[in-house]
Structure 1
């Protein structure tokens, strides 16, 4: 199948995910500081959690960036949107339980909402069609 034009909002989404994910993987303390998140402790588990989150976002960005067909883009955008939605729920849940401070929850969920907005605009501009049809296809 031939490659179709790659809408700017989806390019920004893919590059943003790739950048933040790579940064979190390579520089977890710096990245969490920039996002107003508590600094990971020196315990291996806390650094691992930030790197795992970073690898997830980097992979989602790379998946979207390398998606050459509209069908592949649909799947990449949907996967990222589900992850972003769960990130917002997780941040709000953590804030509600007192596990996450307000600034950190706002910054983290704000980033996820920004990615969701880029995905929605990119979906629309890219003419990717109805979401129900994209999800229902196997």
Structure 2
């Protein structure tokens, strides 16, 4: 689809909300497990929202106009792909002691972002009707 489409901004906005939902779930789970509050760490929030926005833009550009039903699935998979690319880059350039945590964070992100993908799917089907 083209970026000049009138629904592009709405789709990116919903992807941003999905990123905020993913951060809220991860923040709540991490607080329950370890007692550490992530609300002070803006870098994590910005990175999760950036993953969702970049994944949504990639999906918007690669999905054809006739296959709107694939848009949210492509956005979810692109978001996970962006996260794994960044994790692989950190894995190649990072210290050996933190490499396992980066991969686990990427896998955890894929699991925790499922509600955001469901929200994106529900809202996208309403927007693109």
Q: What band does the TM-score fall into relative to the shorter chain?
A: 0.3 to 0.5
Task: Give TM-score scaled by structure 1 length.
Answer: 0.38
Higher helix share: 2
Q: Output the TM-score relative to the length of structure 2.
A: 0.40
